[in-house]
Structure 1
Amino acid sequence: MGDDYLRNFTRATLETVDRRGEFYRMPGDVFVGVSIGCARYPEDADSLDSLIKKADHIMYEVKR
């Protein structure tokens, strides 16, 4: 259920996300859940394809 999303986070990206969060504030309580699969190159995989598959596998393990 949901979408898969791949992102390579850098410090600049994280700072942009922090700034853009200001635009999405809503009054009241909003509850959101996420499942994240994280894999590192070359520790967890030896190619981009295997890295994505590893992160996807970990994400689905977390969802269980």
Structure 2
Amino acid sequence: MPEDIDCGGVVEQGTSLSEMGRQIYDLLLDVASGQRMTSQEFGYGDNELVPWKIGAVR
């Protein structure tokens, strides 16, 4: 959700990939430490960030 992290700044404002990577990394650390993401605040399910699918995939 763009409220959590918006990578559009790389294209729209010229944010460097290094800086955007740092922002994503910092967000992951914060979430791993207990900070709730916007999707959790809105109750949008338990699996909003799924880097890989578990089980059979079509």
What TM-score do the two structures reach when normalised by structure 1?
0.34
Larger radius of gyration between Structure 1 and Structure 2? 1
- Higher helix proportion, which one? 1
What TM-score do the two structures reach when normalised by structure 2?
0.37
